[in-house]
Amino acid sequence: MTTTARDTALDLIDFLNASPSPYHATAEARRRLTAAGFSELAAAGDWPSAPGRYVVVEGGTLFAWIVPDGAAPHAPFRLLGAHTDSPTLRIKPQPDTGRAGLRQLGVEVYGGALINSWLDRDLGLAGRVVVRTSDGPRTRLLRVDRPVLVIPQLAIHLNAEMRTDGGLKLDAQHHLVPIWSMGPAEPGGFSRFLAAELDVAPDAVLTHDLVTYDLTGARLTGADEEFVSSGRLDDLGCSHATVSALCAVAGEPAPGQVSAVVLFDNEEIGSQSATGARGAWLGRQLERTVLARGGGRDDFLRALAGSVHVSADMGHATHPNYSDKHEPEHHIALNAGPIVKMSANVLYATDAPTHAAFLLAAEQAKVPVQYFVNRGQVRSGSTIGPIVAAGLAIPTVDVGNPTLAMHSARELCGAEDSALMIAALKAFLTPA
C-alpha cells in the first residue's frame, strides 16, 4: 500500500496525541519500535552479542539501534538524534495553594515557553508518579486527559496598562497559577488527587514529575488541510520522523554500519541532566553496543571516528507577519522540505562534510532542502547537535522541519514536511 504525505501527517498526529509528556513520548516510540521487531533491553542488564534490533529507555530518553549481520565491533554509527521535551508548565513538589475561594496549583515554567500562550486553555496533566508498593518504589505513567486546570487572564477592563504600555506583561510567579477547584487550599490535596487517579492509597504517592498540556489535540488545519497544528511539535515532530525512519529500514539494514536513534530529554533546559545530551548517557549506550559485540575501547573510538550524526530539531519558517526577523536571502517555506541549519558561531554543528552527507541523502530521496541562518543581530536557539558533536567528536549536521509559533502551547508546521523529512532520514540510514 502506498503511503501518502497525508497518511504520514495523520500518523504524526497520532504520535503527538499519544505523547503529552517526555515519558509518554518514549513509551509511544518504544511501542512503535517493538512493533517493528525491536527487543527492549534493560539499561543495567546484559546486552546480546547477536545482530538484531534493540531499544533501551530511561525516563524521557531512548536509544534504539540495528546491528546488521557481519557488523564488526568497530562498525561506524549512522545516528539520528532528536528530543522529547517541550516548553511547558511543571507542577511544583508542594503545589497546593489558592486564594479568593479558589484552589490552585503552583507551577514552574519549564524551558523557554511563550507563557502568554498558556492562558485561557483547558489543560490536562501528564507525566510520571512514583508510588510506594510492597516491592519498593514503582514509577507509573499518569495522564489526566480532561480539563482539570485553567489559567484565566485578567479582563481588559481591569488591565488598562495593556492599552498604554505595549501589551500584556506576565509575572510567572503570580500570573501563571492555574485554577483547579473550588474552596480553600488543602495541604496534601494534590497528592490525594493523584492517589485517586492511580487507584492507590493516599499515602502511597511519594513524588512526581508532572507537566500541563493543552487538551486541544493535534489536527490538520488550513483551508485545504495544509498544516498540522499541535502542542509539542518542537521536537516531537522530529522525534516521530527519526523513529519512523529507523522502523522503515529495520527490515533491510544497511550493511557495515550500526543505524541508530537517540531521543533525549531536557534539551529545552540546556541538556545537562543524567539523561540529557550534555551528559554521559549516549556515550555509554554507544560503547555498550560495541562491547556487546566483543569489541574494546579502541573499537569504540574507531567506531566514533567513522560515524556521522543528524541532529533533527524543528526550525523556524519565515513568519509572514514578522519577515523582518528573518534573513532576507534565506526564505523558509512550509511544505517545502527540511531545513539545514548553519551558524558561523556553531550554534548549529553543520559543517561542509556533514552538510554534503545530508545533501546526498536528500538527493537520493528526491527531497528539496532549505537553509536557515540567523539574521544579523538576531540570535536563535541551539540544539543537541553541537553538544553531541563536541562531547563525542561525532561529525554532525543540524536539520529540522519548518515551524511557526515555536515554543507556544500550540505550534504550526506543514502537513507535507513530515514525509519529506522521513524520506531524507531513511536515505541517510541507507546511503546509495
Q: Is there a single domain that holds both residue 9 and residue 147?
A: no
In terms of C-beta density within 10 A (0-12 exposed, 13-18 middle, 19 or more buried), how is residue 269 classed? middle
Say if residue 47 is in the same domain as residue 135.
no
Residues 268 and 413 in one domain: yes
Q: How confident is the model at residue 162 (pLDDT cuts 50, 70, 90)?
A: confident
Same domain for 353 and 370: yes
Write out the residue range of the structural domain in which residue 152 sits. 88-214
Q: For residue 200, which amino acid is it? A: V
Structure letter (DSSP) for residue 367: -
Instruction: Please state the rounded mean pLDDT for residues 169-198.
Output: 94
Domain-ending residue, one of 151, 179, 214: 214
For residue 47, being part of any structural domain is answered with: yes
Q: CA neighbours within 13 Å on the CB side: how many for 278? A: 10
Mean pLDDT score of the chain:
95
For 317-370, the pLDDT digits (tens) are: 999 999 888 888 899 999 999 999 999 989 999 999 999 999 999 999 999 999
Same domain, 284 and 423: yes
- Do 360 and 272 share a structural domain? yes
On whether residue 208 sits in a domain, the answer given is yes
Distant-in-sequence, close-in-space partners of 259: CB < 8 Å, separation ≥ 6: 65, 66, 77, 78, 246, 249, 253, 429
| Mean pLDDT calculated for residue range 227-240 | 97
What pLDDT, in 10s, does the model give residues 257-312?
A: 999 999 999 999 999 999 999 999 999 999 999 999 999 999 999 999 999 999 99
* CA separation, residue 87 to residues 43, 279, 293, 338, 344 (Å): 27, 20, 39, 22, 27
Looking at the fold, whether 196 and 281 belong to one and the same domain comes out as: no
Indicate if 78 and 95 belong to the same structural domain: no
DSSP assignment string, 141-169: EEEEEEEEEB-PPPPGGG-THHHHTTS--
Q: How confident is the model at residue 199 (pLDDT cuts 50, 70, 90)?
A: very high
Whether 287 and 301 share a structural domain: yes
- 317 with 383, same domain: the answer is yes
Residue 209 lies in a domain: yes
What cell was used for 269? 533546559
Residue 388 within any structural domain of the chain: yes
Check residue 167 and give its pLDDT: 74
Q: Write down which residue in 183, 214, 245 finishes a domain.
A: 214
* pLDDT category of residue 166 using cuts at 50, 70 and 90: low
Nearest-10 Cα torsion for 317, 321, 327, 330: 50
Section 216-236 average pLDDT = 97
Of the three residues 156, 183, 214, the one that is the final residue of a domain is 214
Q: Is 222 contained in some domain?
A: no
Instruction: Report pLDDT digits (tens) over 66-110.
Output: 999 999 999 999 999 999 999 999 999 999 999 999 999 999 999
Report the CATH number that the domain containing residue 183 is assigned in CATH: 2.30.250.10
Residues 284 and 259 in one domain: yes
Q: Is residue 312 part of a domain?
A: yes
> Does any domain span residue 224?
no
Q: Are residues 287 and 380 part of one domain? A: yes
- Grid coordinates belonging to 105: 496549583
49 belongs to a structural domain: yes
